[in-house]
Structure 1
Amino acid sequence: MNLLLLDESDYIAPGLVRIAGRRHRQLLEVIKAEPGKFCKAGMLNGLTGTAELLEIGADAATLRPDLTVPPPEPSPVTLIAALPRPKTFQKVLHAAVTMGVKEFWFIACWKVDKSYWSSPNLETASLDETCRLALEQAGDTAMPRIEFRNRFKPFVEDELPGILAGRPAYAGHPAATEPIPVGSRGPAALVIGPEGGFTGYEIDLLARHGVTPVTLGRRTLRTEVAVPALLATLTAQPR
């Protein structure tokens, strides 16, 4: 836990918070924090700073937060991804949230198994936990927006144009020949297909709606590797 992520409901008095459960166990058992020590802290969807540990017991801890610093800048990239298998989904979501992505669209396509849509990993509680853990790791506080669409063609034809809104969009695709741009400036969209890539029909439909197929090279990558690699390349900052 690089940052203690707080909720408004944690306040027990002005300037005082009390935490229990996973966050308390992290302070007690992993960080081994003691009264008088400070840790990085942030308010969910708010400012960051530090919190002084005042008291820690077997079940709860009381802290005094001092939050005055804005969270890190969000990524300018909107991520649109074919829904991965459940375990991969959690890895992709965690990695992208740590990299600052704030808008996700997980979509259907021909190679997405219908069973993926009933995974408990897509339930609100699981999404919230995965995102919170990623925000804590990244020292961030801003929760992302996550949308799911289980019909490919209606999404591409009816919603994608509005999502792109004139911004460049790139689809990682095994058969593409154009390299992904390095350090693209401003808002952009990144489209990730299933393992094995989109079908010819799907990539053609995406291309007709403003998405350029791109590649990282000849190597075939797992989705959980391809997503951070493509995001890092697209948002790389010049020295």
Structure 2
Amino acid sequence: MPNTPIISLRDADVYQRNFLVLNNVDFEMQAGEFAYLIGKTGSGKSSLLKILYGDLPLQNGAGQVAGIDLENLSTSKIPHLRRKLGIVFQDFQLLTDRTIEKNLEFVLRATGWKNKSEITHRIDQVLEDVNMATKKHKMPHQLSGGEQQRIAVARALLNQPQLILADEPTGNLDPETSIEIMNLIKRLSEENNMAVLMATHDYSMIRRFPAKTFRCENGKVLVAESQSLFANI
């Protein structure tokens, strides 16, 4: 298998509006790799993730995600990029006016699925993956926070992504539920050889689940193995 990085940024500048938040970023992850992204509020974590999923343009430097060039990424190519990714947010972002099944069907239809039986089968598969098969006819408000985040993970899996980008996925969860969600994401990553980049403030999670850690600090992205990380916190 060719050793092509799933994420590669070279001399990349990251802007939020017209403000330069990260500069000369060199950043690389391999297929199947799990890594954290840390840093203080406003340090550029979310902006970096937005570059990777096409929500912010890469104005300077070179970048590639799942084989798609980020430089001059046209609006028409963003859906193609996002079909290769799964995105998990802190606040779940489920549609509150429809059932779990209809939430997932909405995403599949928006990404080009048309066959009803294939849609139903894929929804059942991902709900089984996250141990939520019995919840598909529930409304989001009928689920706990942890259950809603499991659905958000299921939604991220729908198009069998090569990469999950997770922005504070345990930020609204209690410690016990956070560990459950982390175990789920780690298991799915390993079973599917799926890379995961997780932005987090939760250093207890990094201690419990050590992995490569990228730190946004003073406009740079630095790399530290998590074992040595805590000497500086």
TM-score in terms of structure 2 length: 0.27
RCO comparison, higher one (Cα < 8 Å, 6+): 2
Structure whose CA Rg is larger: 1
